[in-house]
Chains A and B, each alone.
Chain A
Amino acid sequence: MSKVICIIDDDPIYQFLINKIIDNSKGNHEVMFFKNGKEALDYFTLDIAKNLPDIILLDLEMPVMDGWDFLKEIDKLHIDDTAIYIVSSSISDEDKRRAKKFPKIKGHFSKPINSNKIQEITKKIE
């Protein structure tokens, strides 16, 4: 079952690499990229019904609108069908604690991420 996976991250190398990993995971998933939270949000709100992805892999440190601010904004949209995962280079406990305050967050991964993890995530929401 192919999914729509949304990557929100400002690192172009990561974007390239994650795209390759999802390709290799043979799920035939559709991938979209945003450089920061604001760009993603702007796109979602253009047409909430159509544009929302199944899975969001969210980075925390980004310019313009970071992961936390994005979470605050997406909360206001009341969407239930999208699973949000944090994928950050941060390994700090503080960030993990903070993430727990958002019930929408399904999981928290530290980079690097590999195809196994992508399969794990996509299987969970089937």
Chain B
Amino acid sequence: MSFKRNWTKLSKWFLTRPNTSGTLVFLLLLLFVFFLVKFRYNVAKENQHREMSNIINVVQQNFEQVLKNSYVTTLTLAMTVNDEGKPENFDRIAAQLVNSNPSIDAVQLVPNGVIQYVYPFEANEAAIGYDILNSPKVKQEALKSIETKLIYFAGPLKLKQGGMGVVGRLPVFMENKFWGFSAVIIRLETLIKVSGIESIDDSKYYFQFSKVNPTTRKEEFFLSNKTDFSDHYFQTVTIPDGDWKLYLIAREKNALIYQVFIFFFFGFLLSLLFALWVVSIMKKPAQLQKKVFQQAQKIHESETEFKTLFEQAPVGIAKVDSDNGDFITVNSEFCRIVGYPEEELTNSNFQKITHPDDLENNINCLHKLKDGSLHEFAMEKRYLHKSGRTVWVNVIVSKLWKSDGNVKCNIAIVEDITDKKRAEEELKQSFQLVSDQNKRLLNFSYIVSHNLRSHTSNIQTISDFLESAETKEERDEMIDLLKRVSDSLNETMSNLNEVVSIRTNINLSIEHLNLNEYIEKAKLILGQQILKKEALVQNLVSKTIVIDYNAAYLESILFNMISNAIRYSHNDRKPEIILSFDEETKSLKIQDNGIGIDLKKNGDKLFGMYKTFNNNPDSKGIGLFLVKNQVDAMGGKIRAESKLNEGTTFTIYFK
């Protein structure tokens, strides 16, 4: 696990850094190339070394062969010297030796250091008589061979007979006494030829041949090749018989380095190319990686934005399961509107918090949404807030389509309109109030105009008659009528005045009034009528009941209600009036067994002015009108229930 994770991490690290990775690849390859080159260099060097050793060994062997032959030749030649110190058959043997030995150009016998016998004679005639031991140039080497009693090759030196050559001298002793030298002369060209130096591939190597000059102690080179090769690779062997040194020198100074350098150069180039290729390949995933990262960042940003939008929206948003109404997601405004925390809502459904009166309509709409007859719907509905109060909302519901075309959820946008609703309700109430007032006002103005006009029209008619009256009787009759009209008008005016005073009384004094006592007072005032009709007035109101009311109004209301109940009693029975109080609704009930009123017919006129419903001469149609106005003025209401010929019950709600 951890390895895998580390590996992923590592590969990610590299994948996101193509340049670094490319450089690393380049360096690794270069290291590899370096080792390869080094190995190759070693192998090449080894090969060169071996090749040169082989060549130089062959040449050395050839040299030694020549020297051995020379040794045998000088020895054979020395054998020709007889006991008296005179060579025998020198010419014949020398000829045989020279002819059978291609490497030897000439032979000499040098008794006491003076050349006396040479073969072939013609070519070497010039050397005869040359005293070696007294010639400072060659003396040292000659003496060296006498000292060591071994053959010693002198030279290469300038031969007396012309050209360059080496001279191998074998000191010959007779009875332990130095006799002279037996010598071979090998021309330098011959030596080089037989040594095989010329047969090597001189494109790669060349030879050099040197000897430390015994006189000057300086190394002298004898081949025409370059002598300064200290910075070239070379091998060397020493030939002790002549104190010679053979060099095999690589012709090219830095051939190997050059070869290796080219190899290294191509390796470097390949590494570079490969590294660039790696970089270009890795840059693609890196670019893709970068793009993926940017896209992810964008998605994350837009997700955050949407989440913020959802959470901080000033409207409630809820995602609801379209099958069962479960809340899936809700935002904080939705929680605030309904008063439940999010956890409680997501474990619940919309049915539980919807007002039961709105639920059916809500579910119907959702069915329509589901079967496709609606695409979305909006409704005003009520939620039950956690605190128990009702919250009015405007809710818009639509389907939440998924990319595969299925619908699993609905989205509901919810706006709290409780305040608006309340304002609407208040407006409605005040509108009701105003239109009620307006209605009353119209009614009142109608009353005023009608009641006054009926009198004025009579006065007008009477005055017409007065004008045209011819007799005193006629005139008196009219004046009498005029008095009656005047009285009637006066009464109307006083009634209207009373009504106006009720309506204009805004600041009525309110007192604590004992209802029972006020009923008893009214009974006392109406004593005469009660007695006359033999009425039974039952005051069932508890003596403890106290109401806050205007005293004059209460007196007037009680007086009018009781007197009405007595006045409209049924002829077949004695009037029975029961007054009772309902504490719960704060209402007074006045129940009688009188003639009753047809409320279906006259309900709307019941409390109207000058409305009477029977032929009772005492009916003026003003009592109930005043009561209604007084009750209204105190903010209460009055209701009537009645059955013809059975009785009427009025209920006065004090507030």
- Residue ID in chain A nearest B614 by CB atoms: A64
Chain A residues, Cβ within 8 Å of B610: 61
> Is B297 located at the chain interface by the 8 A CB criterion?
no
> Is B484 located at the chain interface by the 8 A CB criterion?
yes
* Inter-subunit contact B450/A112 (CB<8 Å): no
* Inter-subunit contact B454/A89 (CB<8 Å): yes
* Inter-subunit contact B481/A64 (CB<8 Å): no
Partner of A92, one of B449, B485, B614: B449
Partner of A63, one of B461, B464, B484, B615: B615
> Is B401 located at the chain interface by the 8 A CB criterion?
no
CB distance from A12 to the nearest CB of B (A): 8
Q: Mark B593-625, 1 if CB is under 8 A from A, else 0.
A: 000000001000000001111110001010000
* Inter-subunit contact B464/A114 (CB<8 Å): yes
Can you list 24 A-B contacts (CB < 8 A)?
A: A11-B454, A13-B485, A14-B454, A17-B458, A17-B481, A63-B611, A63-B613, A63-B614, A63-B615, A63-B619, A64-B612, A64-B613, A64-B614, A89-B450, A89-B453, A89-B454, A89-B457, A91-B449, A91-B453, A111-B454, A111-B458, A112-B457, A114-B461, A114-B464
Closest 5 CB pairs of A and B: A111-B457, A63-B612, A112-B457, A89-B454, A89-B453
Alpha-carbon separation in the docked complex, A21 to B457 (Å) = 14
- Residue ID in chain A nearest B485 by CB atoms: A13
Alpha-carbon separation in the docked complex, A41 to B457 (Å) = 26
Q: Mark A1-21, 1 if CB is under 8 A from B, else 0.
A: 000000000010110110011
> Is B446 located at the chain interface by the 8 A CB criterion?
yes
Alpha-carbon separation in the docked complex, A91 to B456 (Å) = 13
Q: Could you count the A-B residue pairs with CB atoms below 8 Å apart for me: how many are there?
A: 61
Alpha-carbon separation in the docked complex, A35 to B612 (Å) = 12
* Inter-subunit contact B450/A35 (CB<8 Å): no
> Is B295 located at the chain interface by the 8 A CB criterion?
no
| Main SS at interface, chain B | helix
| Main SS at interface, chain A | loop
Chain A residues, Cβ within 8 Å of B615: 35-36, 63-64
Chain B residues, Cβ within 8 Å of A113: 461
Chain A residues, Cβ within 8 Å of B458: 11, 13-14, 17, 111-112
Given contacts A63-B611, A64-B612, A64-B613, are A17 and B454 in contact (CB under 8 A)?
Answer: no
Q: Mark B473-488, 1 if CB is under 8 A from A, else 0.
A: 0000000010011001
> Is B302 located at the chain interface by the 8 A CB criterion?
no
CB distance from B561 to the nearest CB of A (A): 20
* Inter-subunit contact A63/B621 (CB<8 Å): yes
Alpha-carbon separation in the docked complex, A16 to B480 (Å) = 12
Q: What 11 new A-B contacts, CB under 8 Å, besides A61-B454, A112-B457?
A: A13-B481, A14-B458, A17-B458, A20-B465, A21-B461, A63-B613, A63-B615, A64-B612, A90-B450, A111-B453, A112-B460
CB distance from A21 to the nearest CB of B (A): 7
CB distance from B463 to the nearest CB of A (A): 10
Alpha-carbon separation in the docked complex, A63 to B612 (Å) = 5
Q: Mark A86-115, 1 if CB is under 8 A from B, else 0.
A: 000111100000000000000000111110
Alpha-carbon separation in the docked complex, A64 to B453 (Å) = 21
Alpha-carbon separation in the docked complex, A87 to B338 (Å) = 64
Q: Mark A25-57, 1 if CB is under 8 A from B, else 0.
A: 000000000011000000000000000000000
> Is B462 located at the chain interface by the 8 A CB criterion?
yes
Chain B residues, Cβ within 8 Å of A20: 465
Alpha-carbon separation in the docked complex, A92 to B453 (Å) = 12
The listed residue with most A CB atoms (<10 A of its CB), out of B457, B485, B613, B615, is B457
Chain B residues, Cβ within 8 Å of A16: 481
- Residue ID in chain B nearest A18 by CB atoms: B461
Chain B residues, Cβ within 8 Å of A36: 615
Alpha-carbon separation in the docked complex, A114 to B461 (Å) = 7
Chain A residues, Cβ within 8 Å of B614: 63-64
Contact-residue bracket for chain B: 20 to 34
The listed residue with most A CB atoms (<10 A of its CB), out of B453, B601, B613, is B453
* Inter-subunit contact A17/B446 (CB<8 Å): no
The listed residue with most B CB atoms (<10 A of its CB), out of A20, A63, A90, A92, is A63
- Residue ID in chain B nearest A12 by CB atoms: B484
Chain A residues, Cβ within 8 Å of B488: 13
* Inter-subunit contact A90/B449 (CB<8 Å): yes
Chain B residues, Cβ within 8 Å of A90: 446, 449-450, 453
Chain B residues, Cβ within 8 Å of A92: 446, 449
Chain A residues, Cβ within 8 Å of B464: 112, 114
Chain B residues, Cβ within 8 Å of A64: 612-615
CB distance from A35 to the nearest CB of B (A): 7
Chain A residues, Cβ within 8 Å of B457: 14, 89, 110-112
Partner of A61, one of B450, B462, B484, B601: B450
Chain B residues, Cβ within 8 Å of A69: 601
Chain A residues, Cβ within 8 Å of B460: 112
CB distance from B469 to the nearest CB of A (A): 11
Alpha-carbon separation in the docked complex, A63 to B446 (Å) = 16
Chain B residues, Cβ within 8 Å of A14: 454, 457-458
CB distance from A64 to the nearest CB of B (A): 6
Q: Mark B429-464, 1 if CB is under 8 A from A, else 0.
A: 000000000000000001001100110011011101
Alpha-carbon separation in the docked complex, A43 to B613 (Å) = 19
Chain B residues, Cβ within 8 Å of A63: 611-615, 619, 621
The listed residue with most A CB atoms (<10 A of its CB), out of B601, B612, B621, is B612
Chain A residues, Cβ within 8 Å of B461: 17, 21, 112-114
Chain A residues, Cβ within 8 Å of B465: 17, 20
Chain B residues, Cβ within 8 Å of A21: 461
Tell me the residues in window 49-84 of chain A with beta carbons closer than 8 Å to chain B beta carbons: 61, 63-64, 69
- Residue ID in chain B nearest A14 by CB atoms: B458
- Residue ID in chain A nearest B463 by CB atoms: A112
Alpha-carbon separation in the docked complex, A111 to B464 (Å) = 13
Tell me the residues in window 43-58 of chain B with beta carbons closer than 8 Å to chain A beta carbons: none
Alpha-carbon separation in the docked complex, A35 to B601 (Å) = 19
CB distance from A67 to the nearest CB of B (A): 12
Chain B residues, Cβ within 8 Å of A111: 453-454, 457-458
Chain A residues, Cβ within 8 Å of B453: 89-91, 110-111
- Residue ID in chain A nearest B619 by CB atoms: A63
Alpha-carbon separation in the docked complex, A110 to B485 (Å) = 18
Chain B residues, Cβ within 8 Å of A35: 615
- Residue ID in chain B nearest A63 by CB atoms: B612
Chain A residues, Cβ within 8 Å of B484: 13
Alpha-carbon separation in the docked complex, A21 to B481 (Å) = 15
Alpha-carbon separation in the docked complex, A89 to B481 (Å) = 18
Alpha-carbon separation in the docked complex, A113 to B465 (Å) = 12
CB distance from A36 to the nearest CB of B (A): 8
